[in-house]
Amino acid sequence: MSDLKEIRDEIDRIDNEIIKLFQDRMDTVIKVAEYKKKNNLEVLNRKREEQVIENHLSKIEKVEYKKEVEKFLNSVMEISRQAQRKFLIGDIDNTSSFILEDKSIEITKDTVVGFQGVKGSYSEEALYVYFGNKVKTKAVAEFEDLFKELNDNKIDYGVIPIENSSTGGVLEVYDLLSKYDFSMVGEMCIKINHSLIATSDATFDTITEVYSHPQGLSQCSEFLNGFRWRRVPYTNTAKSVELVKDSASTSIAAIGSKRAADIYGLKVLKENINTNKTNTTRFLIVSRKPYIDEACNKISIVFSIDHRVGSLYNVLKYFAENEVNMLKIESRPIKERPWEYVFYIDFEGNITNPKVKIALESIKDNTNYFRLLGNYKKCEGYCNL
């Protein structure tokens, strides 16, 4: 075994040389960071990195190790970039492209908040829970109408559903968040208790059709499976309730909130018909401009990456490396590029946290398209309506 010991001793000697040279290299890397700071240069210079790696690979004598050497050099480049960011992190203005206005949401008697649907919708309920009764409200017909109103300065904020605990993300809203350059400034989680609503003379036997938003129908599928009613998708739960009122027919019913039934003077045939009794919807507060204060503890981003092996891993690894807790990831197709996707990620943190800033800058370096959607206060628990 003496031969093995000698070999290991040789490895130790080589490792010691590598460690010494690595430390010398890192000292030089920091000198480069000082220069970049002084001259207001970006940390990442991808063209320079590619040239350095290509130059070193051309000098390899043992070509059988070429792939391993390339991997080693890429790791060294990555470590060097992280070291430069840590060195520069104190100089916020020069080192971070993610600076948000340091202030809280502004609410006055003239503030106008929009929501999709009609009076009695869950979005309207979420609006009042978040903003109270001190604001003016404006209802719009479609989700995109809300973004258009915001774009045209007709509303100051919008309240819009993004995700349900039973049926997942509201995909149309995800697409709109990417299409329009607005910011998430808050969120509200509302426990959804669906009711079966009909006219005063209606019974379970007279009903032949049930109207609701597709997610409302899906969330009550177990209850609906007990009947032979035709399920009709509609634009909004409250709109469905309004339709029942306008029709005055005993043959149709709607799935919506008890509050909507009260508003439109209709009868609740059965309450809490959703399959998941903890059924909860998360609503976003969107604004034309971002806001941040020390209470903000959740961040949302959207990005696209190359369609190649390891590209998503090369983004997600920065969450673990910087001890940042990822909460959710959602993918959506890029319509004009078949089989390519944008990714939406929610994670915990405040934009002023050094590790969060390093993670964001590193992720941005490894994406083709990147946008910070917002840094806002995470909803804790839910409101039971």
**pLDDT by residue (tens digit) across 221-263?**
999 999 999 999 998 899 999 999 999 999 999 999 999 999 9
CB 61 within 8 A of CB 115: no
CATH number at residue 46: 1.20.59.10
Residues 122 and 138 in one domain: yes
**Residue numbers of the domain that contains 212:** 197-270
3-state class (DSSP) for residue 85: helix
Domain stops at, among 30, 65, 95: 95
Asked if residue 117 belongs to a domain, the reply is yes
Please give the share of the chain, as a percent, with pLDDT higher than 70.
Answer: 94
> Mean of the pLDDT values across residues 105-128?
92
Please give the share of the chain, as a percent, with pLDDT higher than 90.
Answer: 79
Say whether pLDDT at 139 is over 80. Answer: yes
User: Strands 280-287, 252-256: parallel, antiparallel or unpaired by DSSP?
Assistant: unpaired
- Check residue 94 and give its pLDDT: 44
Task: Give the phi and the psi of residue 87 in degrees, each rounded to 5.
Answer: -65, -40
> Mean of the pLDDT values across residues 204-229?
96
Residues 129 and 78 in one domain: no
Return the bridge partners of 344, or none.
302, 330
Tokens for 329? Answer: 């990831």
3-state class (DSSP) for residue 369: strand
Asked if residue 90 belongs to a domain, the reply is yes
- Check residue 97 and give its pLDDT: 57
Residues 287 and 178 in one domain: yes
Q: Which one is predicted more confidently, 380 or 157?
A: 157
Say whether pLDDT at 57 is over 50. Answer: yes
Place of tokens 């990005």: 303
- Check residue 288 and give its pLDDT: 94
Alpha carbons 187 and 160: distance in angstroms, whole number: 9
Asked if residue 127 belongs to a domain, the reply is yes
Residue 278 designated active-site: no
Alpha carbons 87 and 323: distance in angstroms, whole number: 18
> Mean of the pLDDT values across residues 49-77?
93
Residues 27 and 87 in one domain: yes
Residues 174 and 288 in one domain: yes
Residues 202 and 188 in one domain: no
Asked if residue 335 belongs to a domain, the reply is no
Residues 153 and 30 in one domain: no
Say whether pLDDT at 89 is over 80. Answer: no
Distances (CA, A) of 331 to 190, 340, 367: 24, 10, 14
Asked if residue 275 belongs to a domain, the reply is no
Residue 283 designated active-site: yes
- Nearest 5°: the CA angle 148, 152, 156 is 90
Say whether pLDDT at 96 is over 60. Answer: no
Is residue 92 very low, low, confident or very high in pLDDT (cuts 50, 70, 90)? very low
- Check residue 106 and give its pLDDT: 79
- Check residue 93 and give its pLDDT: 44
CATH number at residue 131: 3.40.190.10
Residues 160 and 285 in one domain: yes
Is residue 158 very low, low, confident or very high in pLDDT (cuts 50, 70, 90)? very high
> Mean of the pLDDT values across residues 357-385?
88
CB 358 within 8 A of CB 230: no
pTM of this structure: 0.82
User: What is the number of structural domains in the chain?
Assistant: 3
- Check residue 154 and give its pLDDT: 97
Is residue 86 very low, low, confident or very high in pLDDT (cuts 50, 70, 90)? confident
Say whether pLDDT at 132 is over 70. Answer: yes
Alpha carbons 149 and 260: distance in angstroms, whole number: 24
Residues 160 and 57 in one domain: no
- Check residue 249 and give its pLDDT: 97
Residues 30 and 135 in one domain: no
Asked if residue 307 belongs to a domain, the reply is no
Say whether pLDDT at 272 is over 80. Answer: yes
Closest of 353, 292, 290, 297 to residue 103, by C-alpha: 292
Say whether pLDDT at 156 is over 70. Answer: yes
Asked if residue 83 belongs to a domain, the reply is yes
Say whether pLDDT at 17 is over 70. Answer: yes
How many Cβ atoms sit within 10 Å of the Cβ of residue 226?
8
Residues 63 and 131 in one domain: no
Non-local (6+) Cβ contacts of 271 within 8 A are: 193, 195, 258
Return the bridge partners of 384, or none.
191
Residues 155 and 284 in one domain: yes
Catalytic residue among 143, 283, 319, 347: 283
Alpha carbons 350 and 364: distance in angstroms, whole number: 17
Burial of residue 148 (CB within 10 Å: 0-12, 13-18, 19+) is middle
Domain stops at, among 236, 270, 304: 270
Out of 90-99, 159-168, 280-289, least confident range = 90-99
> Mean of the pLDDT values across residues 170-197?
95
Asked if residue 52 belongs to a domain, the reply is yes
- Check residue 70 and give its pLDDT: 94
Q: What is the mean pLDDT of the chain?
A: 92
